[in-house]
């Protein structure tokens, strides 16, 4: 089948490369000539494990190409995916759909025969209706069906998530459109991935509900962690104890500094707005958003307390800047609020991240960057683990202890066992566990 992917950002690029790998013919379109030029030359605009080889293989096989020419890509496609960005709108937090609607207008002009237009970007309920209205208005005679096919992939594990999904959701108003999209995913029948065909609005809401539920699960365990600290319990064991109940499940119960990234913060806010506008507020999710926001700043206070109540003039080493490991994505990363909180309290911050320092530079001011964890820790009054990169899981604690000015370790991801840190002479603080 022939696929056009409009928007070669994170979702578009990963989905396009994976569809090509399934054997389809894929053209990834983007307005940004520099991005298309880089992709054509084999340079990835984002860091995602395995993506460069997947792209290179499929380009070599002639199944994947890149262009700025939307009309050419769309003209003979069976399915056109809209995978452009939907940032939070400044001011009201609602998803900014201007890129989606512009893509719909451009696609409308380029249609030549029956085509399924698919929104893959996370879009508020009713966006599919609006996309269809825009296309029909600009090209009344166009033979088109508009479908919602939300993406559930995680950064850092995106290719595996795409190829082995828990489920595929196809929101279509007509059967022939659902068939075209099911056919695209046919290579997954072997893995028996469930394909759910729903109405378009149901599919759109399913995506928001999934992210809001996961954000709620994380926030729940984070509050349990705070409670554990007050009553002398261990959140890791509480998480295991509840997670073994099949109705709860063990995943997304890892307490930490609060969720970040390009999806949860934006999608929970957008859901809150949609629900308010629909006159059916989701108060639970509103609280999750507020609790998570204040948590990031509270993590700076946790570091300050671990340093004896003041960090004025102290050198604080931060390990991990990205919102999670295996990505260079800094969007809504907890490190941003934590570092700002520490700097406001008078600390000098030195940071190291395996992939995120370039993206971090424009977002952080007054931060010194180190080349590795050990030079980062040099002469530091405290070492704070903010992101659980594999490289931070087996640090040489004796060596760290030896180069630091004071043996204070604040582990916001519970990477270490308290007894191990103590054995090396650290004053150790983690999340939801006894010191």
As annotated, the binding site for substrate includes 152-155, 207, 252-256, 260, 324
CA atoms in the 13 A half-sphere facing the CB of 15: 31
From the list 28, 228, 263, 376, the catalytic residue is 263
The residue among 58 and 236 lying less far from ligand UGA, judged by its C-beta, is 236
The nearer residue to ligand UGA, 74 or 410, going by C-beta atoms, is 410
Sole residue written with tokens 């929101």: 171
Q: Does 263 bind ligand UGA (CB under 6 A)?
A: yes
* Residue 359 makes contact with ligand UGA by CB under 6 A: no
Residue placing its CB nearer to ligand UGA in the complex, 115 or 274: 274
Residues 252 and 249: their CA atoms lie apart, in Å, by 9
The annotated binding site is made up of: 30, 35, 86, 122, 152-155, 207, 252-256, 260, 266, 324, 331
Q: Which one of residues 30, 48, 78, 151 is an interface residue with ligand UGA (CB under 6 A)?
A: 151
Q: Is 28 left (phi over 0), alpha (psi -120 to 50) or beta?
A: beta
The verdict on 415 binding ligand UGA (CB under 6 A) reads no
Interface with ligand UGA (CB under 6 A), residue from 154, 273, 401, 417:
154
Q: How far is the CB of 270 from ligand UGA (least distance, A)?
A: 11
104 to 123: interface string for ligand UGA, x by CB under 6 A: ------------------x-
The encoded tokens of residue 65 equal 């190409």
Q: Is 307 a catalytic residue?
A: no
Spatial distance between the Cα atoms of 359 and 333, rounded to a whole number of angstroms: 11
Tell me the DSSP string of 315-337.
EEEEE--SSSSS----TT-HHHH
User: Does position 152 bind ligand UGA by CB under 6 A?
Assistant: yes
Note whether 77 and 27 are within 8 A (CB): yes
Nearest alpha-carbon partner for 97 in 125, 76, 55, 60: 125
Site for ligand UGA contains 381 (CB under 6 A): no
CB within 8 Å of 94: residues ≥ 6 apart: 88, 124, 269, 270, 273, 274
Binding of ligand UGA by 200 (CB under 6 A): no
Say if strands 79-82 and 382-385 run parallel, antiparallel, or are unpaired: unpaired
356 binds ligand UGA (CB under 6 A): no
Between 256 and 356, name the residue whose CB sits nearer to ligand UGA: 256
13: phi then psi, degrees, rounded to nearest 5: -70, -45
Q: Indicate the burial class of 174 (C-beta count within 10 angstroms; 0-12, 13-18, 19 or more).
A: exposed
Q: Applying CB under 6 A, which of residues 73, 261, 341, 432 lies at the interface with ligand UGA?
A: 261
Nearer to ligand UGA, 152 or 374 (CB): 152
Q: How far is the CB of 261 from ligand UGA (least distance, A)?
A: 4
Looking at residue 88, what DSSP letter applies? B
Binding of ligand UGA by 256 (CB under 6 A): yes
Binding region for ligand UGA (CB under 6 A) out of 34-42, 79-87, 151-159, 404-412:
151-159
In our burial notation (b when 16+ CB lie closer than 10 A, e otherwise), range 41-77 reads eeeebbbbeebeebbeebbeeebbbbbbebeebbbeb
3-state DSSP assignment of residue 94: coil
Binding flags for ligand UGA, 173-192, as an x/- string (CB under 6 A)? --------------------
Q: Pick the binder of ligand UGA from 24, 63, 254, 348 (CB under 6 A).
A: 254
Which listed residue (107, 116, 253, 397) binds ligand UGA by CB under 6 A?
A: 253
* Residue (110 or 118) nearer to ligand UGA, CB: 118
Residues 38-67 that bind ligand UGA (CB under 6 A): none
d(CA 399, CA 402): 5
Least Å from the CB of residue 336 to ligand UGA: 12
Closest distance to ligand UGA from the beta carbon of 338 (Å) = 12
Other CB atoms within a 10 A radius of the CB of residue 21 amount to 20
**Annotated binding residues for NAD(+), as ranges?**
30, 35, 86, 122, 155, 266, 331
Question: Which residue has 């806010």 as its token pair?
Answer: 269
Q: Contact at 8 Å (CB) between 84 and 6?
A: yes
Q: Using CB under 6 A, which of 35, 324, 348, 433 touches ligand UGA? A: 324
Give the long-range contacts of residues 71-74, CB within 8 A, separation 24 or more.
71/106, 71/109, 71/110, 72/27, 73/4, 73/5, 73/6, 73/27, 73/28, 73/29, 73/110, 74/4, 74/6, 74/29, 74/106, 74/107, 74/110, 74/111, 74/115
The region of 20-28, 96-104, 198-206, 259-267 touching ligand UGA under the rule CB under 6 A is 259-267
Q: Does 328 bind ligand UGA (CB under 6 A)?
A: no
Which positions are annotated as active-site residues?
A: 263
Residues at the contact surface with ligand UGA, assessed by CB under 6 A: 122, 151-155, 211, 214, 218, 252-254, 256, 259-261, 263-264, 267, 323-324
């Amino acid at each position: 089948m022939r696929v056009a992917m409009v928007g070669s950002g994170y979702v578009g690029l990963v989905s396009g490369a994976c569809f090509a790998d399934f054997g389809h013919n894929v053209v990834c379109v983007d307005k940004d000539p520099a991005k298309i030029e880089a992709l054509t030359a084999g340079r990835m605009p984002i860091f995602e494990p395995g993506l460069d080889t997947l792209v290179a293989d499929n380009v070599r096989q002639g199944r994947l190409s890149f262009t700025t020419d939307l009309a050419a890509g769309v003209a003979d496609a069976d399915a056109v995916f809209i995978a452009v960005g939907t940032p939070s709108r400044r001011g009201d937090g609602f998803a900014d759909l201007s890129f989606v609607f512009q893509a719909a207008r451009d696609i409308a002009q380029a249609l030549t025969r029956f085509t399924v237009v698919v929104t893959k970007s996370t879009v508020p309920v009713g966006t599919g209706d609006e996309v269809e209205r825009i296309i029909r208005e600009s090209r009344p005679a166009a033979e088109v069906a508009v479908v919602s096919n939300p993406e559930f992939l995680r950064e850092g594990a995106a290719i595996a998530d795409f190829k082995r999904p828990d489920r595929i959701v196809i929101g279509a108003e007509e059967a022939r459109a659902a068939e075209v999209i099911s056919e695209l995913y046919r290579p997954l029948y072997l893995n028996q991935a469930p394909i759910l065909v729903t109405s378009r609005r149901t599919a759109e809401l399913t995506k928001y509900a999934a992210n809001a539920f996961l954000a709620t699960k994380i926030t729940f365990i984070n509050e349990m962690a705070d409670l554990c600290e007050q009553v002398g319990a261990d959140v890791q064991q509480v998480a295991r104890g509840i997670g073994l109940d099949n109705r709860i499940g063990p995943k997304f119960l890892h307490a930490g500094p609060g969720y970040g990234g390009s999806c949860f913060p934006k999608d929970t806010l957008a859901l809150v707005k949609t629900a308010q506008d629909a006159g059916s507020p989701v108060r639970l999710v509103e609280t999750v958003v507020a609790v998570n926001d204040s948590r990031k700043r509270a993590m700076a206070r946790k570091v300050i307390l671990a340093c004896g109540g003041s960090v004025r003039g102290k050198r604080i080493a931060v390990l991990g800047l990205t919102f999670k490991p295996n990505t260079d994505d800094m969007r809504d990363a907890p490190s941003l609020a934590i570092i700002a909180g520490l700097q406001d309290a008078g600390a000098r911050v030195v940071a190291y991240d395996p992939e995120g320092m370039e993206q971090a530079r424009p977002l952080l001011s007054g931060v010194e960057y180190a080349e590795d964890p050990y030079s980062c820790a040099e002469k530091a009054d405290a070492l704070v683990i903010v992101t659980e990169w594999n490289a931070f899981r087996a640090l040489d604690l004796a060596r760290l202890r030896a180069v630091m000015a004071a043996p204070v370790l604040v582990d916001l991801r519970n990477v270490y066992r308290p007894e191990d840190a103590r054995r090396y002479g650290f004053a150790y603080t983690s999340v939801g566990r006894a010191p």
